[in-house]
Amino acid sequence: MIRLGLCFFFFVVFSCFAAEQTRLPLNDYFAETWNTRSGLPHNSINSVVQTNDGYVWIATWEGLARFNGREFKLFTRTEITGLPDSGLRSLAPQADGGLYIVGARGGISHLYQGQWHAKPNATAMVNHVLKTPSDETWLALEGQGVVYREFDSAPDTAILENLSAYRLIEDKAGIIWVATSNGLYQINNKTARLITPDSGLPQSPIYTLYLTRQGELIVGSEQGAWKQVNNRFISIHAQLKNEAISSILQDDHDDLWFGTINKGVFRLSPLGLEQLDADAGLPANRILSLLQDRENSIWVGTNGGLYRLREAAFSTWTTKRGLTGDYVRTVLSHSDGSLWVGSSLGLNRIEDNKVNTFPPAYGNDPLSVLSLAEDAQGQIWLGTYTSGLMRIINGKVYPVLDRQNGLASNEVRALLFDSAGRLWVGTAAGLTRIDVDGSLKQFSSTDGLPGDFIIALSEDNYGNVWIGTGVGVASFSPNLEKFTAKVFPAHFDAEYAFGFYAESEYIWMATDRGLVRCHIPTGEMSILGREQGLPVDKLFQVVAQGDSFWLSSNRGVIQVNQKQVKQRLAQLAQNNALPIQYQLYDEGDGMLSAQANGGSNPSAVLHKDGSIWIATAQGASTIVPERLKQATKKTLPTIIEAMYVDGKMTPLVQQDEEIILPLGVSRLSFHYAGLSFIMPHRLNYQTQLTGYNNVWVNRNQLTITEYTNLPPGKYTFKVRSGYPNGQWQNNDKTLTFVIQSYFWQKTTFKIMVFIGLLALVYGLYRYRLYHYKKIEIELIKRVEQQTNDLQQQTDAFAHQATHDQLTDLPNRRAFDCWLADNFADFKQHGSPLAIAIMDIDHFKRINDGWSHIVGDRVICVVAHMLGELNESDDSQVARWGGEEFTLLFPHKTAQQAAQLCEELRVQIANYDFSNIASGLSVTVSFGVADSLAVNDYDRLLAQADQALYQAKSNGRNRVEVITL
């Protein structure tokens, strides 16, 4: 997905600062899963490790994979002669950067500095390999015990026989411990001794071993996890005694993680013993391997895929953590340090990581909370959707005011206690002020308000009360006791004011067209919106924290630098402003939903501990900005992965060696990667080619650099990677190469030509004129050809970015751009614009009943029919996602569009799909709406979606039109 502002993902893992942080509960970690659909060769992850260069390696039953954060590179026996087998059992990274790979058929391979070295095979499947400081190689074999080799090519010497050995580990005293099917063995001076039950261990198979940073030996058995203390073994936790432990990990907090045979993962920490299983999101409950990488993510290898847990930038409170409802409308930071959350199902207080619920005093129906406020005594007042104004008394919610006793409406979207102690109540039908003496005063559009739908209230530093409505903004002066309309300039095209932030002489407003700043004394306004570089028009709340503004929106939370924003606004007046730089946070950063809620207040707030809380459609999300500033201090390795010479891959050499390239090289390309697994698609890159241009060139997120027609000579290619908005680290990688010269390019030949020129001045002069003319023509042709090639490549990239790969129809991005760019024009000219959302009926049955391949063919056939409509009319057709398509009908009403949709529906229903699958029939449903009664394209889409829902509810295979 292309986003101008996805330049900063920032930053999703912060456990590298464990000493300064509180542990997250397991359920609060952000999880990701990879499997064969993601590029892995097999879903059983037998081993996952990280080597010194930063790569993550995965061993499976179908081969080896290397992960750079963006993609998996597979290594197979057909390409790598040194690989032992297709089925790989275990990986063992070495301190020198090497990696041992062992296989199911006894094969052993050593990867070191890019070179693969096959070692003599063992006689059985190798479950684990241990390389000791004395250069001995120890092998744990399936069914044949333990053998060792004095060096890699030495013959095997048996130490244990007639059992299965699973894991080997050497402690600081040089003693080797072995996990076997017969129990735990200790090998000292090549002599093995069984650890008997007298030592405290149960008499059961031992599957894994782990040596902690403190030197403690942890044993994972069929009957729990055990720790060696003073030559005896004690149970680590009583609840683990009946669990079969298959893998163990100690993380940077010194917490212990336990993978099990069939119960998922357990973590033992000061939070207690926590479990994570398939019901909570694991791909499978059989755990085969565990890893904590350099960025402190936890990798879990299961027999159903690769799973990763990371402490994300955002943590979200939902009903799973105790909230009464997930659809959160408002959040409030209380002076006592607690955080209040109002949702569609009630009111909660979060304090010390605990949630309290406040039920209504009368009745059992849940309250839909829209707004919150704290009075001077610390009491909580709340505005509701249907019950008016209420407050908390003795732990319960009591009614205060509604439509029957003074409010203009029961829908209360904003509350404000001003500096005089008066309570302002913003409702859907006007504004009510409750004075200190309890008297009420009503205000509406007849009193100077721009509209009666009140959605935001704030007080500035001058004591003015600001009122945001659906049709503009006004301020109330306490001295004049009247409202003054604050008219947005016409070119702003703004109407809704969702939230305010007061700052010295300015009031900042989150509007439906961007961030507006108003100079209070003069009323002068400026705006920062999409035209100035923000990714969205509609903003809900402004929160100032540190050097940043945090803006909530329907697309996520946007972070912008306050100083840069103010500079850009000053430059706008001079027409020389550059696009604003921003960071957009969404689901990839830990938010369960990027849809932040607005139209209720406060919908985002700065908490006393420096965290920011945002009301979203799936819980209350919180972020600690200070953690983001620390993330750039993490070391970021850079790797040159491949070099291509005229389209063919060239083997790489060590950094201090040179690559000699053949004569006539015309095109070189370098592929590289920054090995961050938490933000690989948002890293920035710079390259330099010493000998050609000795300056760093910004490549942004591009991981390929190409050079053409370099003259002969010696060059050094350099590349470095950096975190978004971070300083460049000293992590550049270099590759030196030499382009050989033809004999006529050498100095000796040029001297001979010069001497010949002196002897044959006139003749060679004429010849050289002709010769240079010919070269000029050739160069022009080559430049034109390369320019054409680059243009074709650019056109192909542009097409891929805006078209669906399966159907070759425009994709959702292209549809959104077209609708966003053209909707306003249709509204301005009064021309109708109709939209239809089409869904293939019961598509899941097609996938389940026939196959996903048949489903894809059905989508292609339907797309072709829709494409024919596009060719015969001025309509626009796009694949919305999955089995949904969108159709735009310029200059047509909903009824006209519905007629076309009905023709399409009949055509599809009558189409013979038996050539795809026997017995297959397909119908579709349409939802149609037009722009005549809506003011923004989001609402148009919502109406079409509502119509589609009606079509599905009314039996499918039909066309429904929204009528207003």
Closest CA to 655 of 62, 97, 204: 97
Query: Tokens for 822?
Result: 């053209």
Query: Tokens for 341?
Result: 């959350």
Contact 595, 44 (CB under 8 A): no
The count of C-alpha atoms lying within 13 angstroms of the C-alpha of 75, restricted to the half-sphere facing its C-beta, is: 21
Contact 475, 525 (CB under 8 A): no
Q: How many CB atoms lie within 10 A of CB 843?
A: 18
Going by the DSSP 8-state scheme, the letter that residue 363 receives in this structure is -
Task: Name the amino acid, one letter, at 508.
Answer: W
With b for 16 or more beta-carbon neighbours within 10 A and e for fewer, the 782-797 pattern comes to eeeeeeeeeeeeeeee
Task: Name the amino acid, one letter, at 31.
Answer: A
Residue 311: C-alpha distances to residues 55, 266, 281, 556, 595 (Å): 20, 17, 16, 18, 21
Place of tokens 């019961």: 842
Give the whole-angstrom CA distance, residue 751 versus residue 757.
10
Chain-centroid distance, C-alpha 710: 39
Residue 883 is a catalytic residue: yes
Q: If DSSP states are collapsed to H, E and C, what string results for 128-153?
A: EEEECCCCCEEEEECCCEEEEECCCC
Give the whole-angstrom CA distance, residue 803 versus residue 315.
34
**Any residues with CB less than 8 A from the CB of 37 and at least 6 apart, and which?**
none
Give the whole-angstrom CA distance, residue 370 versus residue 331.
9
Give the whole-angstrom CA distance, residue 623 versus residue 682.
19
Contact 67, 56 (CB under 8 A): yes
Going by the DSSP 8-state scheme, the letter that residue 367 receives in this structure is P
Edge to edge, what strands does the sheet with 328-333 contain?
328-333, 339-343, 346-351, 354-358
Give the whole-angstrom CA distance, residue 179 versus residue 186.
9
Contact 887, 959 (CB under 8 A): no
Q: How far apart are the first and last CA of the chain?
A: 35
Choose, from 883, 902, 903, 960, the residue flagged as catalytic.
Answer: 883
Cis before 602? omega within 30 = yes
* Burial class of residue 742, CB neighbours in 10 A (0-12, 13-18, 19+): exposed
Edge to edge, what strands does the sheet with 440-443 contain?
412-417, 423-427, 430-434, 440-443
Task: Name the amino acid, one letter, at 82.
Answer: G
Give the whole-angstrom CA distance, residue 430 versus residue 320.
37
As a whole number of Å, the CA-based R_g of the chain is: 34
Contact 924, 892 (CB under 8 A): no
Give the whole-angstrom CA distance, residue 653 versus residue 734.
11
Q: Crossing angle, helix 761-802 and helix 812-829, to 10 degrees?
A: 80
Contact 74, 83 (CB under 8 A): no
Closest CA to 403 of 392, 391, 393, 412: 412
Give the whole-angstrom CA distance, residue 614 versus residue 602.
9
Closest CA to 483 of 461, 511, 513, 451: 451
- The 3-state DSSP class for residue 157 equals strand
Label the pairing between strands 287-292 and 298-302.
antiparallel
Give the whole-angstrom CA distance, residue 829 versus residue 836.
21
Catalytic residue positions, numbered:
883
